[in-house]
Structure 1
Amino acid sequence: MYQTRIVPWVNYQEFETVYQWLFADRKTQVDQVRRGIDRVQTWTNRGEIPSSVETTAALIEIIIHDEQSSHLSHKELRLTYAMALVRFVNGLVDREQKGKFAKSIQVLARSIGLPSWFVDLRHASTHEHLPSLMVLRDGAMQAVAWLHDHYWVRNLKKADQQNHDEIKSKLNQYKECRKSFMKEKYSAKSSDPDAYVACIQQLIEMIGYQEEQLQQDVIPLLLNVGGLVPTGKKKRASAEEMQISKGLIELWTPLIQGLDVGFPDFGRQLVKAMIKRLNINEEFKVNETLLNPYAAFATKEKTDDPTQAPSYLLTL
């Protein structure tokens, strides 16, 4: 059975914002970087946080102190860098130590793609003479770069996919709630719009200030088969009847209107995406299928791409 993983950030947007702060330009946006470090400290106060997040903030904080000509002595800087790098390696490999028999740090590091150079640096910092400040500085910079590529970017991609799946689920939920409302509306049963209206509001809240998700997720999902264009070809427009059904209009109008109110640019973006699907270029040359729909419907819809089928294009 899967267990829920508790994280200290409120939502995906906060995680992404802290990533942007931490990796902002330290020369021109050092205040943002410090803001990211402070937010990680806030997360730490809330409870346990991933070691990669904590180590990223710690390494960047040391680098800033060093670059800003801190009052730390040469030896203090070496000790501080060394401690952060030891924690960096330990935090990554300790969680990989599983099973009855302990594995070497080199083996564990190799299993997660951590260069052996970091393990050697950890060993020297722990058991031998401290490496030079130049070596430690270089190690810290490379550690931050490794964390950026192997932790932050990968988790942001996972979060993007999770967000996409949540938006898709909410659109499907709206569709089902709206269908139920319409079915009850035309029957003797009393109909309550609260369910589908709540879906619209929740979708707007999910997108929040990340309006790029309209283009990346919402609009593509709406334009997929099963969205604005029904899956069943009998429910689509045809060459004989060049109009879409009243039920289809009634199904999607509240959502489109709600999103247009929540995001004033949504309507323009949706129309732009629809035109692109219809293959209308800058010179307004229309897809040949639409120029002669009767000829197109005289044969079967032979296309591997369902969004290029004549019935899809006619309905859109």
Structure 2
Amino acid sequence: MIKRSTAPPPWRHESELAMVRDWFYAQHARADAFSAPPGDMRQRAVDRVNLWLFKAGALPPAVLSTASLTEAVIHHDRVRKTTGDDGRALVDLTISGQALQSIYAMAFARFVNAFVDRDVARAHTADLMVHDSSDDGDETTTNTGTGGNGTTSTARGESSMYAHAATIGMPEAFVDLRHQVAHGELPSLIYLRKMTLSALEWLWERWWVKNATGDPTRALLELAERRQLSMEVQMARNHEHQGLDIESPESG
């Protein structure tokens, strides 16, 4: 089981977290017989997580991973939807297939690292250092070639990753894919999408079901009230501007 973060959450109450949960996972949300489906709210969920991150500076890895993986799927969905209801082309030609592969790969690698790489920051620091022949505990370095530059064997570090993955119930295939993309080997878009959707389901079962157990009703009502207030303010401003136009002297 993934542990809860000890930092205070940036969401105002559990209902707000539940609302974002349902935006991410509409397929798991409880259907309301008296309300119309809200539509695709995944981008709203990603935006809300980014707002939380801006406010708090840190979030539970599961929340950040859900947002980044979902955003990769959203990019892909926009490209896959070739035409709209009116028949006009909607293909986003600014994103190539290779770029989509990179988006998926980066999101997936960060997701796995967040849960099974215990020394991410330390590893980045080690990459900037020159090793002669030492054992830092997780990796062994062997000099090859000239100039003192070495190649690092990460067998022990990777083994540790698999051990951490087993502890939290993460499939080995997730770690396999992380290692694959880390070495610049990008699988097909079909496989990357399949694994990303599997990762999102894993996050649902391992974190969201256990940590986001609230009812979204309160947050949805607050959202509707803020939207209504914003509309009323805008209408008042429009009426004020119209009144000023009527009172102003005619030109010419």
TM-score range for the pair, normalised by the shorter chain length: 0.5 to 0.7
Separation in structure 1 between the aligned mates of residue 184 and residue 6 of structure 2, nearest angstrom: 42
Separation in structure 2 between the aligned mates of residue 66 and residue 4 of structure 1, nearest angstrom: 34
Aligned in 2, Cα 1:5/1:95: closer, same or farther, shift over 3 Å? farther
Give the match for residue 42 of structure 2.
33
Aligned in 2, Cα 1:86/1:4: closer, same or farther, shift over 3 Å? closer
**1:96 touches 1:108 (CA, 8 Å); kept in 2?**
no
**2:100 touches 2:189 (CA, 8 Å); kept in 1?**
yes
Separation in structure 1 between the aligned mates of residue 23 and residue 8 of structure 2, nearest angstrom: 22
Give the match for residue 12 of structure 2.
10
Q: CA deviation at 1:156?
A: 2.4
- Residue 134 of structure 2 is aligned to residue 89 of structure 1: no
Q: CA deviation at 1:101?
A: 5.8
- For 2:54, the aligned partner's letter is N
Residue-pair matches, total: 157
TM-score scaled by structure 2? 0.56
Q: CA deviation at 1:81?
A: 0.3
Of all paired residues, the percent bearing the same amino acid is 38
Q: CA deviation at 1:37?
A: 1.1
> Considering only aligned residues, what root-mean-square deviation do their CA atoms show, in Å?
2.8
- For 1:36, the aligned partner's letter is A
Separation in structure 1 between the aligned mates of residue 108 and residue 39 of structure 2, nearest angstrom: 22
Aligned in 2, Cα 1:208/1:122: closer, same or farther, shift over 3 Å? closer
Aligned in 2, Cα 1:4/1:119: closer, same or farther, shift over 3 Å? closer
Aligned in 2, Cα 1:110/1:17: closer, same or farther, shift over 3 Å? same
**2:75 touches 2:100 (CA, 8 Å); kept in 1?**
no
**1:105 touches 1:119 (CA, 8 Å); kept in 2?**
yes
- For 2:41, the aligned partner's letter is Q
Structure 2: gaps of 5 or more residues: 28-36, 80-91, 121-135, 139-156, 220-252
5 Å matches for 1:53-202? Answer: 53-69=63-79, 70=92, 71-94=94-117, 102=138, 104-157=160-213
Separation in structure 2 between the aligned mates of residue 128 and residue 5 of structure 1, nearest angstrom: 35
- 1:244-303 CA-to-partner distances (Å, cap 9, x unmatched) read xxxxxxxxxxxxxxxxxxxxxxxxxxxxxxxxxxxxxxxxxxxxxxxxxxxxxxxxxxxx
Give the match for residue 243 of structure 1.
none
Aligned residue for 1:209, secondary structure, equals helix
Structure 1: gaps of 5 or more residues: 161-206, 211-316
Q: CA deviation at 1:64?
A: 1.4
Q: CA deviation at 1:10?
A: 1.3
**1:8 touches 1:48 (CA, 8 Å); kept in 2?**
no
Separation in structure 1 between the aligned mates of residue 64 and residue 8 of structure 2, nearest angstrom: 16
**1:106 touches 1:119 (CA, 8 Å); kept in 2?**
yes
5 Å matches for 1:47-58? Answer: 47-58=57-68
**2:9 touches 2:59 (CA, 8 Å); kept in 1?**
yes
Give the match for residue 251 of structure 1.
none
Q: CA deviation at 1:134?
A: 1.3
Larger Rg: 1 or 2? 1
**1:86 touches 1:126 (CA, 8 Å); kept in 2?**
yes
- For 2:107, the aligned partner's letter is A
Separation in structure 2 between the aligned mates of residue 119 and residue 76 of structure 1, nearest angstrom: 22
Separation in structure 2 between the aligned mates of residue 120 and residue 74 of structure 1, nearest angstrom: 22
5 Å matches for 1:140-289? Answer: 140-157=196-213, 209=218
Q: CA deviation at 1:24?
A: 2.0
- For 2:18, the aligned partner's letter is E
- For 1:12, the aligned partner's letter is E
Q: Which has the higher helix share?
A: 1
**1:40 touches 1:53 (CA, 8 Å); kept in 2?**
yes
Give the match for residue 235 of structure 1.
none
**Could you say which structure has the greater relative contact order, defined with CA pairs below 8 angstroms and 6 or more residues apart?**
2
Aligned residue for 2:41, secondary structure, equals helix
- 1:197-231 CA-to-partner distances (Å, cap 9, x unmatched) read xxxxxxxxxx9839xxxxxxxxxxxxxxxxxxxxx
Q: CA deviation at 1:121?
A: 0.3
- For 1:11, the aligned partner's letter is H
